[in-house]
Structure formats: C-alpha cells, structure tokens
Structure 1
Amino acid sequence: MFFDPHARGVFAVLPADGGDTGVYRWFVILEIVLAVVTFVALCFIVAPYGRHGRGGWGPTVPARVGWVVMESPAVLLFAAFYLLGTHRFAVVPLVFLGLWLLHYVQRAFVYPFLMRGGGRMPSTVVGMALLFNALNAWNNARWISEFGTYPIEWLTDPRFLIGLVVFLGGFVLNLASDRILRRLRGAGSTGYQIPHGGGFRYVSSPNYLGEIVEWAGWAIATWSPAGLAFALYTTANLAPRAMANHRWYRETFDDYPVSRKALIPFVV
C-alpha cells in the first residue's frame, strides 16, 4: 500500500494494476529493494572513493567530473520527468520542485567545484550512482507532479511543516559539515586531518547525518511512497559509510576524540 497525501491514516491504497500507476508502483518497490541490497553489500564492502579509494575497481575518472556526471540526472532528469505531470504548475508541487533543486543543484553543479585535491573515483561507482539517480528522479518527480495530489492547504498541514523544518535543518547541517571538511585542506595542505567544530563535535560524519535527516524531512513533507523509498535508500547507503569513516579515523589518528560517535550523537 502507498501513502496518500490526503489520508489522515498512515497508509492508503494506490491501485497496483494497469497503466502508468502499476508501472510506477514497481519502480518504487525496486528502489526499496535496492536499499536493502545496498545496505547489506556496504556492511561488507566499503565503496572505493574518497578516503577509502583503492585499486581493483576498473578505470577511474577525476572525482570532480564523476560527481557532476552522477549527480546531474537528479537535476536534469528530475526536471524533465516533473514537466510530464498534470500538476506541474500547481503551487505545492512547485514548492517541492524548489526544495529538490535546492539540494541537487548545489550537489551536482556547486559542490564538485568546491572540492580540493585531485582525487579520482572508479567509473563503476559513477555508473551505479547515475542509474540510481535516474530511477530516484523518476519516482519522486512523477509522484509530486502526477500521482500525488496536493491542494494549496497542504502548505499548512503539520506533515508539510514538520517535514520542511527537518529538510532544511538537514540541508544546513550537510552544507556546514562539508565546509568544515574543505577548510581542513587549505593552501599547501595535503592528506587528511581530524575535523572539529559544528556537528563534528558529536559525530564523525555529520555531513551524512545531515543528508539522512534532509531526505527524512522530504519523506514527511511529501508524505509519499517515493519519499519513503528515498529516505530508506539514503540511510542504507550512508549509514554503513559513516561507520567505515569512524573506524578509519580511529585507526588513523591516535588522538581521535573518544567521545565522538559515528553517526547519531551520543548513540552510535
């Protein structure tokens, strides 16, 4: 069963047979299955980019190029899929479009050019991320502009208001944490250092925590199956990497803060 933005209960039925609706249902289910598979795989294999980069994964591309290529579908394809919807000019879908682009324009076309260093990433990682972003763009864009129905009153619904606050809070935490990481690599600086300040006072990967919180907020604000699938996938993808980062910091730096957790302050 699927979320209905008008339903006061948690679930409402979206027909599973016939036409675009049936196909859409299976794409959302596919994303949830991918979340489970990704989580299990990443509990055993650390994705080979960034501080965990290593050989044996085929040809590589400059990290800056890789980020643009794999994240741009979340902007370009999302916009194209969104414009197919019958509700594309309605106010609430346009608000959701703005929130989505707020994150992904920065991630695809700003963040890569703020990166410091000449790292590379495997083209296999780029390819897998590109395919996921295309699927995720379809699921979320088609929901907000076609399959979901949002009257103007949705902007005052508690689910939208809570989701918006959570989304923006996660977005700010994500950006602030990335900025702290960039500042560790000033002019003439090489290698990795221990980050301090901001969310790093509490966890090793506040940038990942921010992104998980952000898309949880999106799921609440849109009250949608696509939003739920994306929030699950984001957690499945980033939580294991946060744990890997935490282990790496502790193994690399003898003076790493012992009270700092991996992802959730004071918990884990």
Structure 2
Amino acid sequence: MAWYTGNETFDTWLAVGFGFAAFTLLGSLFAKSPYGRFASDKMGVNLNPKLGWWLMELPATVVFFWFYLQGARAFEVTPLALALVWTIHYGNRGWFFPLSLRVARNRSSTFSITVMLLGMFVTGLHGYLNATFFTQYAPHLTGAWLADPRFIGGLAVYLCGLFLTVRSEAIMRHLRDPNAAGQDYKIPYGGAFRYVSSPQYLGELTAWAGFALMTWGLPGVMIFLISAGNLVPRAFQSHRWYHERFPGYPSDRKAIIPFII
C-alpha cells in the first residue's frame, strides 16, 4: 500500500481521515457514544433515530457515486466489482437498516444531531476517498486483481462480517415492540449473542477488515480504524450496561470478541 498518491487533494483528505480516526478513539475513552441507549441532550437536539441514521449514512451513497462516475476507470471490471460490494453494503447500512428500525413510543428522539453531522462528514469522506481510489489511484485494481488471494480472502472475510452484522441486527430489531410505551430493551439471545454482547459491532469490524484487505488501500484501513475507535469502546460500554440493567445477564458472554474480551 502506498502512503500517498501524489494528488494533494486526495492525500490531504486521507490524512484528515486518519486524524479523525485518532480523534474518535481518544474521544471514546472519555465519553459514551451519544446515540441509542446512550443518547444525551448535551450533544444538541436529538432526532428520531430513523431520520438520524438515514441522514448520517446518506453521503456514503451520494458522494461515492458522484465521484465514482467521474473516474477514468469507472467501467473497468474490478472497480465495478468493488462498487457492487459498496452498493450492497450501503444498501443495507444506509437504507434498509435505518428505515427498518423499530422505535418504542417513549424513545422517539435518541439520535444526536452532533453525531449525525460528524457521521455525515465521515461517510462523505469515506465515499470520496474510496470512489476516487478505485477509479484513479489504484493501479493494482486491474482484472487480474479479482484472482489475487488478497481480494479473494478479503471478500470472504467481508461477507462473513456482513452476514454476522445483518443476522445480529435482525435479532436486535425483533426484540423491540414499536407499540410498547414501557421498557424497550431486552436481553438478546440467539446467533452470536451466545458468545458476545455486541456481535453486530464485531460483524461491522470484520467486514471493514475484509474490505481493507480486498481493496488493498489506505481508505479501507482508515474506515476500519474509525469504526474500531467508535465501536470497540461502545461494545464495552454496552456490555457493562447490560450487566447493570439485567441482574440475570449471561455471565459467560464477552463484550465483542468470543472467549477473549
């Protein structure tokens, strides 16, 4: 992986992305991620989570395809294959997931507008860097790359992560009754919840690790680090929250990595 492309704009924004990854990790050590069960009015106006999630993820679709279609290699086979992976990922993360959320009547505003704006910055930057990288600054992404062990292995890891994420989120979604006005959190069971409290976060990190390997580029490493800086501390926070809220919570579950942590 080259650490720079020679294009000042691209390289500057890539450096900003790595800086934001460090900011995310350091910030998560001192504060809980202020959305969902950890929502706080201190971070500005809270939005309905369906709207907040959708707006936050929207740039990953719009920005990516805006820059992708301007790339010189947009219609070559390997960039098209990676664009398909991107479309599948953000078809789920940016459209299906937010619109399928079940929100209890007493928790209609749990997504901080500050989180939304920061998230829009990240997904927009993520979209720009990867779209441009695929179509302009990745000479290794030729047709032969589809047979490279890094692509094949990365794709396999990515698909495992995507399956784990989708399966875990489906379990979480069906725990909640959108018509309930009382307590709207329950202990999740089934799937990888047998082993960890936050398998959806493990799935997301696994998917981005596979994506970084599959693309063999620093934009993929950047989004993996940003995701890890956000999700790993949140997994530990959620693990503690479950134990505090539910006295009978399974004691053998780990926070995010089965049998380890």
The alignment's TM-score, normalised by the length of structure 1, stands at: 0.91
Say whether the 8 Å CA contact 1:215–1:230 is kept in structure 2: yes
Query: Match of 2:251, as an amino acid?
Result: V
Give the match for residue 96 of structure 1.
82
Match of 1:221 among 204, 214, 217: 214
Query: What is the deviation of 1:232?
Result: 1.2
RMSD of aligned alpha carbons: 1.4
Give the match for residue 163 of structure 2.
172
Give the match for residue 159 of structure 1.
150
Is the alpha carbon distance of 1:171 and 1:15 closer, same or farther for their aligned partners in structure 2, counting shifts above 3 Å?
Answer: closer
Say whether the 8 Å CA contact 2:79–2:135 is kept in structure 1: yes
Give the match for residue 264 of structure 1.
257
Query: Match of 2:57, as an amino acid?
Result: E
Give the match for residue 191 of structure 1.
184
The alignment's TM-score, normalised by the length of structure 2, stands at: 0.93
Q: C-alpha deviations, 1:117-136, integer Å up to 9, x for none?
A: 15321211111111111111
Query: SS of the counterpart of 2:122?
Result: helix
Measured in 1, the distance between the counterparts of 2:87 and 2:257 equals 27
Is the alpha carbon distance of 1:259 and 1:143 closer, same or farther for their aligned partners in structure 2, counting shifts above 3 Å?
Answer: same
Structure 1 residue ranges (4+ consecutive) displaced by more than 3 angstroms after TM superposition: 12-16, 186-190
Measured in 2, the distance between the counterparts of 1:13 and 1:260 equals 39
Query: Match of 1:213, as an amino acid?
Result: T
Measured in 2, the distance between the counterparts of 1:239 and 1:119 equals 26
1:70-85 alignment runs, 5 A limit? 70-85=56-71
1:128 lines up with 2:118 in the alignment: yes
Q: In the comparison of the two structures, how many residue pairs are matched?
A: 254
Give the match for residue 42 of structure 1.
28
Measured in 2, the distance between the counterparts of 1:136 and 1:212 equals 15
1:197-208 alignment runs, 5 A limit? 197-208=190-201
Query: What is the deviation of 1:15?
Result: 4.8
Measured in 1, the distance between the counterparts of 2:5 and 2:216 equals 17
Structure 2 portions without partners, runs of 5+: none
Identity of aligned residues (%): 37
Query: Match of 2:189, as an amino acid?
Result: H
Q: C-alpha deviations, 1:16-69, integer Å up to 9, x for none?
A: 4xxxx1221121121111111111111110021111122222212211111111
Match of 1:252 among 241, 245, 250: 245
Give the match for residue 7 of structure 1.
none
Structure 1 portions without partners, runs of 5+: 4-11
